[in-house]
Amino acid sequence: MSKKNREELRELGQFWTPKWIAEVMVAYFLDGKQKELFDPAVGAGAFYVALKELDKKRQIKFYGTDIDQDVVNGAFKDKIFDGRSLIEIRDFIKEPPAKKFPAIIANPPYIRHHRLSANTKKLLRQISYKYAGFDIDGRAGIHIYFLIQSLGLLENGGKLSFIMPSDTCEGVFAKKLWNWIGNNYCIERVITFESDATPFPNIDTNAMIFFISKNPKQPVFEWVRVKKESDQLLGYMLNKGCVFPDLEIIERNIEEALFTGMSRKPTEKSQYKYRLSDFARVIRGIASGANDYFFITKQMSEELEIPNKYLKLAVGRTRDVEGNTIAFSDMKKLERKGRPTLLLSLDNQRKEDLPKSLRDYIEVGEKNNLQHKALISTRNPWYKMEKRESPKFLFAYLGRRNARFVMNQAGVIPLTGFLCVYPLSDDKKFIAKLWQILNDPKTISNLKLVGKSYGSGAVKVEPRSLANLPIPEEVVMRVGIEPICTKEHQNTLFEFAYS
């Protein structure tokens, strides 16, 4: 791994499994019945090393495939692989083995969808059709297809253990994927990690381990939260000992888990009677397509002599909004700091009808080929800006622990660093109550139920998922706010799409 740069690692998705995790995953197969274990993304053999350690009598044969000859050769040289292992250079996605397996283990390559070629994506769609009978959203990374294909290659009664990023349970494709798995397989155990116990400290994703068998589904399974790296997790897997202070072990109802998303702690019904969409509408801030050009400082607008009527007061970075309100005085402060505060907001006026100063500036944009940029080229004319009413509230949607709602006293328009929250009623009392429920710590704590989690403890909330934010019934009652919209809610907390 040391010879490869980060970019190459990303292309092949090579993040090695640490020993303490590899052993925990292998322990699942030590039930005395297994004869063979298959690892479709074997790499340098982390699971084989663990198997040699735990299966002392060497009863389980090992078969591994990988596309990286160098890594596999390195492991042979280091005498990791031996006579009880069969290792093949083989692309598991393109040429899966033509047989089924009683046991499959993997830390599949984590390659995000935008790094995959169109041909690979086509093949991936076929895989999902072949095994699950449906198409998965194109934003699923290759690890999702490793899971689907491996589940498809399990023998009846077979067992699978995969370590995956938490987007497996939080991505746009999660609902379909888990409906399929939940109905056709038995989810036996799921292990999640606190950020301090993360198996991959240098990567900003939350890992989860799934233990799934090809057996009829069961109503409950064990859901574990690891608070601290320790050998208790292995003890728990091997049924050794019964006190595990470093673990939180919860017997969890499968229906609830599929509703909430298995990367998250269990929720109770009263937490999700009301959603933010009952009280407000959410859309993302403006995507200008070229902030450097469209989003300018006061000083620059004066130098360019752009008339005020073509400019809107706007805020771009979440860092530019310090507290829970944004007032005119804050915008003045940003201006003094030389931060951009003005968005060039042209409609579809013809260039000829605009003042000379603007015509000149549009030509500058054209000389820089802005009209050919992906998002901008879809607009006609290219300098036409998206429109937004100034929202009553902004939502800073990506933060370590400070995802928050902001009262927009300055009437600004937010760019994509924020989401716009529009109350469903103009009534002043309603708006004041809405502000109260949005800032209630119990509401804020529910953000983790709808956001995507990252290894560092950050949460990212997309517009559709913010609309889906559960507002605790107790908070609604205490504040005395009436829901306005009574449209049916989505069935799960994680059924969202980017808008």
Ligand X SMILES: C[S@@+](CC[C@H](N)C(=O)[O-])C[C@H]1O[C@@H](n2cnc3c(N)ncnc32)[C@H](O)[C@@H]1O
With H, G, I as helix, E, B as strand and everything else as coil, classify residue 313: strand
Cβ distance to ligand X smaller for residue 115 or 429: 115
Closest CA to 466 of 400, 409, 395, 410: 395
149 binds ligand X (CB under 6 A): no
Q: Which two tokens stand for residue 338?
A: 């030389």
Q: Contact, 54 vs 83, CB < 8 A?
A: no
Q: Give 143 or 275: the residue with its C-beta nearer to ligand X.
A: 143
Indicate whether 9 belongs to the interface with ligand X (CB under 6 A). no
Q: Within positions 34 to 63, which residues make up the interface with ligand X, using CB under 6 A?
A: 39-43, 46-47
Question: Among 37, 51, 71, 197, which residue sits at the site for ligand X (rule: CB under 6 A)?
Answer: 71
Shortest Å distance, C-beta 89 to ligand X: 9
Maximum CA extent, the chain: 84
Nearer to ligand X among residue 68 and residue 278 (C-beta):
68
Rule CB under 6 A: say whether 109 interacts with ligand X.
yes
| # residues contacting ligand X (CB under 6 A) | 23
Among 29, 50, 60, 107, binds ligand X (CB under 6 A): 107
Q: Which two tokens stand for residue 343?
A: 């968005």
Does position 341 bind ligand X by CB under 6 A? no
In sign, the C-alpha dihedral spanning 82, 83, 85, 89 is positive
Residue 264 · residue 449 · CB < 8 Å = yes
The piece of 64-72, 277-285, 379-387, 411-419 that touches ligand X (CB under 6 A) is 64-72
Tell me how far, at minimum, the Cβ of 34 lies from ligand X, in Å: 18
**Shortest distance in whole angstroms from residue 19 CB to ligand X:** 10
User: By beta-carbon distance, which residue lies closest to ligand X?
Assistant: 43
Token code pair at residue 292: 């450097």
Residue 43 or residue 470: which is nearer to ligand X going by CB?
A: 43
- Of 114, 170, 124, 118, which is closest to residue 147 (Cα–Cα)? 124
Contact between residue 109 and residue 142 where contact means Cβ atoms under 8 Å apart: yes
Using the rule CB under 6 A, which residue among 12, 238, 283, 346 binds ligand X?
A: 12
Pattern of binders to ligand X over 368-387, x per CB under 6 A?
Answer: --------------------
In angstroms, what is the minimal distance from the CB of 18 to ligand X? Answer: 8
- The number of beta carbons lying within 10 Å of the beta carbon of residue 330 is 19
| Cβ pair 365, 293 in contact under 8 A | yes
Beta strands 101-106 and 154-165 are parallel
Cα gap 202→200, rounded to integer Å: 6
Which range, of 91-99, 376-384, 393-401, 438-446, touches ligand X by CB under 6 A?
91-99
**Interface map 273-292 toward ligand X (x if CB under 6 A):** --------------------
To the nearest 10°, the Cα dihedral for 10, 11, 12, 16? Answer: -10
| Cα(242)–Cα(255) distance, integer angstroms | 27
Does 141 bind ligand X (CB under 6 A)? Our answer is no
Residues in contact with ligand X by CB under 6 A are 12-17, 39-43, 46-47, 65-68, 71, 91-93, 107, 109
